[in-house]
Amino acid sequence: ALAVLVVASGLSIWKPVQFGWLTWLFGDFDVARIVHFAAMSGIVLFLLVHVAMSLLVPRSLLAMIRGA
């Protein structure tokens, strides 16, 4: 869901005239910027938590790499 929000809000920020209908769905350009920032922050937080979890339990990282 976050990836869809990032792409949709990114398109409405990148080309607000060509994707006017998409910008309109977000409310306006500024709301699209806020949604884009929040969704990207969510993706970064998701990645940081998962990397930290895999580093805290080193055997899980080896199991992911080896598939066992």
Please give the structure tokens belonging to residue 23. Answer: 């910008």
CA–CA separation, 33 vs 38, rounded Å? 9
The pLDDT value given to residue 13: 96
Q: Which pLDDT tens digit goes with each residue over 20-35? A: 999 999 999 999 999 9
Into how many domains does the chain fold? 1
The pLDDT value given to residue 51: 87
3-state secondary structure of 16: coil
The pLDDT value given to residue 47: 93
The pLDDT value given to residue 48: 95
The pLDDT value given to residue 58: 78
The pLDDT value given to residue 34: 97
CA–CA separation, 56 vs 49, rounded Å? 11
What parts of the chain have a pLDDT lower than 50? none
| Domain ranges, residue 31 | 2-66
